[in-house]
């Protein structure tokens, strides 16, 4: 009888094991000061991953904000106000991000925060900033629910937090932008749709499908994979049998790489297209046959923008140790939006900061409109940027090359 | 285009992979009644052993030469890890309560994953595994990829060798004897310790062969790859009748077919369109397991054995 019991226990243990998840570590740092003598000091907070895998992007964000602040001080942009930066490291994890938010709220001189990089981290900070009426502008978050509420996909858009803004475009336009590219530019009329059932992937696939069918394309088949799957033979066979001339994949590169490879290995020579979750060098590394695969990414490579020429030159002149990376231009514009918000508040109050400066800055930022590095900067009623620029990248010779940039226009 | 023949081929190839890994579970269980949860990681380190051999070869080596060398390296690493695990983790616990080695196995599984994650260069992300270049072969409207040919040849070969070993050699007969009654086998002069090590080693070697096949198929290896596959292979072993080597292979094939066919056809059954496709394939695999165990609690080829006193 004991053997049978062992087997039952073993199976129960398997069940428990497959449900385990990893925890995460926290970490915090000490804070800075606040005011000075004749002038008022206004702090602009930065929250981004400054260490770890994503630190390259995070340091680019921090440096770009620093540049905007130094220039505002040098030009005496807001008379009587000196700006200073307070950058905290969230290690790309929600828990440290939450601690940083609490710390920034506690420092009364902080009137605005730029960051974070990750949508998951933003979720843990929004409530804290909103309760303190502290402006938060993310240069990189693409999760739609952050500005439009959890039920955005079903058309019930509700802005959950009035103090949260972003200069990055959302996932809600990535899918449709890809659909427009496939129909209008690449003339692919039959697409097989696959997603990994996660928030990001399923959302992309859903928004893609709506636009693609509206444009007259046919979805010849739909499939879902588990994020940990690496063997896609059954799905590849279905794709081949469906006669699709492209695959759209909502998800990330660890599964998209092998999926694309197995597709081509099976003799289906059709491109796989996805969102910025697959627009990574690792996608190409894991996939020897990635030539011709496509991905959308939010924003434009700033090098291609005439409005960014001065920013790039100034950044170079400032001799920062790290590059401005993908989100540099968007971070600079986020910082400018806060600075101009503070400026409007001070001017409306006879050159002094009012006692409820934070709440006033939120209102002022909601109303800003200026020509920034990345183009026109202003926010709609959800706090989303009104400037919906995206880029389609194509794998060419082992690199992601810019295939087509554009501004999203709903069809 | 009729996809049934191709889906059957997909299922059988995937099933053969499960079967090769399942043999390790079944042999160890048959002899020491231990579910070696670290077996998925034995499979994983075999994959990394093979990758190391490939990286050590000069660039442009033909796959005809590379694959045998990768196999040897993978088998070597897997067998070493498995034998060491048996010697240092399981043997001291052989007389301990049943749960102790089970918990040890789980610890070992996590430990091996973390070792590879921390110390193998760049193993924090998936590592690229070579593929056999060339277009797939076509048999009618079934396309067989070159990378899968390896498995199509290796799996039956492994089974033949194992069958011959267990039934025709002295060691194999000693193994059967140990499995039936270790105490009496010891009295008859069989070195049961050696037999147990042998069972671990054979299972590990087969897992390494499976790992090379997996790498060739998916084009990558990563430190987590043994976890889900290990659970699947264990399921296959139970499905076929735990302790029975042919059952392990049969269970693997049935499981692979079930996954492939569930992905392809369940959603076309009227009223079932919500429960089909790739997302549900694991669910159907386990539904199949439950149904089989309800009808035949001992598994497909398992025998009803009276519990030893």
- Alpha-carbon dihedral sign for residues A150, A155, A156, A159: positive
Q: What was the pLDDT predicted at B60? A: 80
Check B143 against A266: CB less than 8 A apart.
yes
Tokens of A289: 């046959």
Nearest CA in chain A to B277: A223
Q: What was the pLDDT predicted at B191? A: 95
Q: Are B301 and B246 in contact (CB under 8 A)?
A: yes
pLDDT digits (tens, 9 = 90+) for A334-347: 999 999 999 999 99
* Nearest neighbour of A2 by CB, restricted to B1, B98, B106: B98
Check A267 against B6: CB less than 8 A apart.
no
* Nearest neighbour of B136 by CB, restricted to A3, A267, A282: A267
Percent of chain A residues past pLDDT 70, beyond the cut: 91
- Alpha-carbon dihedral sign for residues A33, A34, A35, A36: positive
Q: How far apart are CA A221 and CA A219, in angstroms?
A: 6
The shortest C-alpha distance from A263 to chain B (Å) reads: 11
- For residue A322, the 8-state DSSP code is S
Q: pLDDT-based confidence at B305, cuts 50/70/90?
A: low
A87 pairs with which residues across the strands?
A46
- Specify the range with the lowest mean pLDDT, choosing from B18-22, B115-119, B272-276: B272-276
Q: What was the pLDDT predicted at A19? A: 46
Check A4 against B307: CB less than 8 A apart.
yes
Nearest CA in chain A to B2: A241
The pTM for the full model equals 0.82
The shortest C-alpha distance from A170 to chain B (Å) reads: 26
Q: Are B14 and B260 in contact (CB under 8 A)?
A: yes
Q: Are A323 and A364 in contact (CB under 8 A)?
A: no
* Nearest neighbour of B14 by CB, restricted to A7, A228, A233: A233
Q: What was the pLDDT predicted at A16? A: 52
Tokens of B90: 């399981």
Nearest to residue A287, comparing CAs of A257, A329, A309, A310?
Answer: A257
pLDDT digits (tens, 9 = 90+) for A183-216: 999 999 999 999 998 878 888 999 999 999 999 9
Check A229 against B126: CB less than 8 A apart.
no
Set of chain B residues whose Cβ sits within 8 Å of the Cβ of A288: 128, 131, 219
Average pLDDT over all residues of chain A: 89
Nearest to residue B76, comparing CAs of B201, B189, B170, B177?
Answer: B201
Q: How far apart are CA B99 and CA B107, in angstroms?
A: 12
Q: What are residue A296's phi and psi, to 5 degrees?
A: -95, 155
pLDDT digits (tens, 9 = 90+) for A48-86: 999 877 888 999 999 999 999 999 999 999 999 999 999
pLDDT digits (tens, 9 = 90+) for A278-301: 998 889 999 999 999 999 998 888
- For residue A166, the 8-state DSSP code is E
Set of chain A residues whose Cβ sits within 8 Å of the Cβ of B264: 234, 237-238
Tokens of A287: 């996939």
Nearest CA in chain B to A258: B218
Q: How far apart are CA A297 and CA A273, in angstroms?
A: 11
* Nearest neighbour of A226 by CB, restricted to B33, B214, B279: B279
Q: Are B13 and A233 in contact (CB under 8 A)?
A: yes
Q: How far apart are CA B250 and CA B237, in angstroms?
A: 9
Check A226 against B277: CB less than 8 A apart.
no
Mutate to test the interface with A, among B10, B47, B144, B226 (most CBs of A within 10 A): B10
Q: How far apart are CA B274 and CA A358, in angstroms?
A: 49
Q: How far apart are CA A70 and CA A51, in angstroms?
A: 23
The shortest C-alpha distance from A48 to chain B (Å) reads: 22
Return the H-helix or E-strand segment holding A219.
strand A218-224
Check B220 against A257: CB less than 8 A apart.
yes
- Print the SS3 string covering chain B: CCCHHHHHHHHHHHHHHHHHHHHHHHHHHHHHCCCCCCHHHHHHHHHHHHHHHHHHCCCCCCHHHHHHHHHHHHHHHHHHHHHHHHHHHHHHHCCCCCHHHHHHHHHHHHHHHHHHHHHCCCCCCCEECCCCCCCCEEECCEEECHHHHHHHHHHHHHHHHHHHHHHHCHHHHHHHHHHHCHHHHHHCCCCHHHHHHHHHHHHHHHHHHHHHHHHHHHCEECCCHHHHHHHHHHHHHHHHCCCCHHHHHHHHHHHHHHHHHHHHHHHHCCCCHHHCCHHHHHHHHHHHHHHHHHHCCCCCCCCCCCCCC
Set of chain B residues whose Cβ sits within 8 Å of the Cβ of A257: 126, 219-220
The shortest C-alpha distance from B263 to chain A (Å) reads: 7
* Nearest neighbour of A288 by CB, restricted to B131, B238, B263: B131
- For residue A184, the 8-state DSSP code is I
Q: What was the pLDDT predicted at B137? A: 86
Nearest CA in chain B to A260: B218
Identify the residue whose tokens are 């509700």: A158
Tokens of A374: 């990345």
pLDDT digits (tens, 9 = 90+) for B256-275: 999 999 998 888 888 787 78
- For residue A205, the 8-state DSSP code is H
DSSP per-residue string spanning A222-262:
EEE--TT----HHHHHHHHHHT-SEEEEES-HHHHHHHHHH
Tokens of A163: 């103090």
Set of chain B residues whose Cβ sits within 8 Å of the Cβ of A238: 3, 263-264
- Say whether pLDDT at A382 is over 50: yes
DSSP per-residue string spanning A373-402:
TTEEEEB-TTS-BS--EEEEEEEETTEEEE
Upper half-sphere CA count for residue B192 (Cβ side, 13 Å) = 18
């Amino acid at each position: 009888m004991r053997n049978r019991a062992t087997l039952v226990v073993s199976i129960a243990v398997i069940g428990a094991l497959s449900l385990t998840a990893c925890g995460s570590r926290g970490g915090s740092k000490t804070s800075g000061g606040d005011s000075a003598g004749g002038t008022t000091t206004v702090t602009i907070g930065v929250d981004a991953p400054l260490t770890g895998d994503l630190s390259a992007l995070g340091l680019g964000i921090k440096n770009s904000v620093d540049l905007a602040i130094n220039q505002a001080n040098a030009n005496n942009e807001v008379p009587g106000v000196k700006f200073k930066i307070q950058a905290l490291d969230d290690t790309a994890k929600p828990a440290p991000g939450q601690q940083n938010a609490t710390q920034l709220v506690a420092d009364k001189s902080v009137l605005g925060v730029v960051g974070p990089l990750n949508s998951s981290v933003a979720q843990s900070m929004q409530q804290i900033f909103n309760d303190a009426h502290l402006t938060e502008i993310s240069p990189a978050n693409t999760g739609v629910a952050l500005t439009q509420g959890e039920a955005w996909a079903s058309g019930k858009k509700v802005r959950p937090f009035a103090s949260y803004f972003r200069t990055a475009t959302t996932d809600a336009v990535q899918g449709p932008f890809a659909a427009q590219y496939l129909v209008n530019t690449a003339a692919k009329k039959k697409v097989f749709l696959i997603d990994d059932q996660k928030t990001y992937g399923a959302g992309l696939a859903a928004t893609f499908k709506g636009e693609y069918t509206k444009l007259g394309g046919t979805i010849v088949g739909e499939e879902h994979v588990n994020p940990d799957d690496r063997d896609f033979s059954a799905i590849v066979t279905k794709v081949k049998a469906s006669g699709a001339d492209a695959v759209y994949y909502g998800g990330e590169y660890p599964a998209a790489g092998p999926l694309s490879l197995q597709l081509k290995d099976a003799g289906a020579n059709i491109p796989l297209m996805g969102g910025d979750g697959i627009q990574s060098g690792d996608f190409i590394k894991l996939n020897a046959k990635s030539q011709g695969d496509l991905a959308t990414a939010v924003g434009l490579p700033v090098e291609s923008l005439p409005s960014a020429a001065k920013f790039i030159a100034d950044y170079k002149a400032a001799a920062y140790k790290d590059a401005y990376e993908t989100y540099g231009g968007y971070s600079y514009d986020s910082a400018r939006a806060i600075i101009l918000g503070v400026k409007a508040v001070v001017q409306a109050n006879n050159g002094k900061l009012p006692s409820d400066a934070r709440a006033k800055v939120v209102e002022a930022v909601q109303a800003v409109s200026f020509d920034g590095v990345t183009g026109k900067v202003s926010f709609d009623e959800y706090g989303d940027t009104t400037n919906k620029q995206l880029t389609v990248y194509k794998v060419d010779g082992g690199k992601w090359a810019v295939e087509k940039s554009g501004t999203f226009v709903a069809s | 285009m009729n996809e049934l023949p191709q889906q059957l081929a997909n299922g059988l190839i995937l099933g053969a992979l499960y079967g090769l890994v399942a043999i390790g579970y079944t042999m160890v269980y048959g002899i020491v009644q231990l579910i070696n949860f670290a077996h998925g990681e034995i499979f994983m380190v075999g994959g990394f052993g093979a990758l190391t051999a490939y990286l050590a070869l000069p660039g442009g080596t033909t796959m005809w030469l590379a694959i045998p060398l990768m196999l040897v390296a993978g088998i070597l690493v897997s067998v070493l890890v498995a034998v060491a695990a048996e010697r240092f983790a399981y043997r001291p616990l052989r007389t301990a309560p049943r749960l102790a080695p089970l918990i040890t196995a789980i610890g070992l599984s996590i430990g091996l994953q973390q070792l590879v994650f921390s110390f193998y260069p760049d193993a924090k992300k998936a590592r690229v595994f070579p593929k056999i270049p060339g277009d797939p072969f076509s048999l009618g409207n079934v396309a067989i990829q070159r990378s899968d040919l390896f498995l199509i040849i290796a799996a039956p070969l492994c089974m033949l060798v194992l069958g011959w070993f267990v039934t025709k050699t002295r060691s194999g007969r000693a193994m059967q004897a140990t499995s039936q009654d270790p105490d009496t086998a010891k009295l008859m002069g069989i070195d049961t310790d050696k037999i147990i090590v042998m069972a671990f080693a054979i299972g590990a070697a087969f897992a390494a062969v499976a790992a090379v096949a997996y790498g060739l198929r998916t084009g990558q290896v990563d430190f987590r790859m043994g976890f889900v596959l290990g659970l699947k292979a264990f399921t296959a072993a139970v499905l076929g009748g735990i302790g029975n080597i042919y059952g392990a292979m049969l269970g693997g094939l049935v499981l692979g077919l079930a996954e492939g066919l569930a992905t392809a056809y369940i959603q076309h059954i009227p009223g079932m369109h919500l429960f089909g496709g790739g997302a549900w394939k694991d669910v159907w695999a386990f539904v199949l397991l439950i149904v089989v165990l309800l009808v035949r609690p001992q598994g497909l080829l398992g025998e009803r054995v009276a519990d030893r006193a």
